[in-house]
Amino acid sequence: MSERSVSKSREQKRWYSVLAPEQFDRQELGETLAEEPQQVVGRTITTTLDELTGDSNANNTKLTFKITDVGSDSAYTEFIKYELTRDYLRSLVRRGASKVEASITVLTTDDYRIRVQPVALTTKKADRSQEKAIRRVMIDKVHAAAEERTFEAFVDAIVDGNLSSAIYGDAKEIYPLRRVEVQKLTLEARPREVAAEEEAAVDVDADEVAVDADE
């Protein structure tokens, strides 16, 4: 392609300001270039929490947003992932101590399905039964948080550190802990997707009942 063609193609494109959801005060996340608005939908953008809040202590936290709608010159997003950086997670690990992890899938009160991955770091090496008990606390606390929170409120509880603190408060009674973090949260399905899956499951069950009746 000639330089003139490339230049002309670029002139036909336009920049869209990518905005965070209202939960994050519609802050600008960056810009994206496209010829048509529909080309922007589905794109993702990742930023750090400190860039949104101005808190320099939050530069180890990455947030990912997905563009779901486009206006005249703005692209609107939804939150889809929270994740701690690998370097930060590695810095938490100490030799001779335990690292207890869990991966938990829950449904919030407004029917968002999310996967939550907390991690607890002990001061010294815990035995297997203690690690199991700490993991049980993680699972129970995450389920309890989801049962009483919307998706947005659940995300807030992680970003603010409230869920980590709740896990720490109970788990430290089992074995001394140095730190508890939520290392990752991922949006797996939205309410309409969850409803469609449930409807499909009901249809399958109905078909199986019909087959059994015929037999």
pLDDT digits (tens, 9 = 90+) for 163-194: 999 999 999 999 999 999 999 999 999 999 99
The mean pLDDT of 51-74, rounded to a whole number, is 93
The mean pLDDT of 66-70, rounded to a whole number, is 97
Residue-level pLDDT at 10: 55
pLDDT digits (tens, 9 = 90+) for 142-155: 999 999 999 999 99
3-state secondary structure the chain: CCHHHHHHHHHHCEEEEEECCHHHCCCEEEEEEECCHHHCCCCEEEEEHHHHHCCHHHCCEEEEEEEEEECCCEEEEEEEEEEECHHHHHHHCCCCCCEEECCEEEECCCCCEEEEEEEEEECCCCCHHHHHHHHHHHHHHHHHHHHCCCHHHHHHHHHCCHHHHHHHHHHCCCCCEEEEEEEEEEEEECHHHHHHHHHHHHHHHHHHHHHHHHC
Q: What is the CATH number of domain 85-196?
A: 3.30.479.30
Note the pTM of the prediction, 2 decimals. Answer: 0.87
pLDDT digits (tens, 9 = 90+) for 93-103: 999 999 999 99
Q: What is the mean pLDDT of the chain?
A: 91
pLDDT above 90: residue 107: yes
The ranges of the chain annotated as CATH 3.30.479.30 are: 85-196
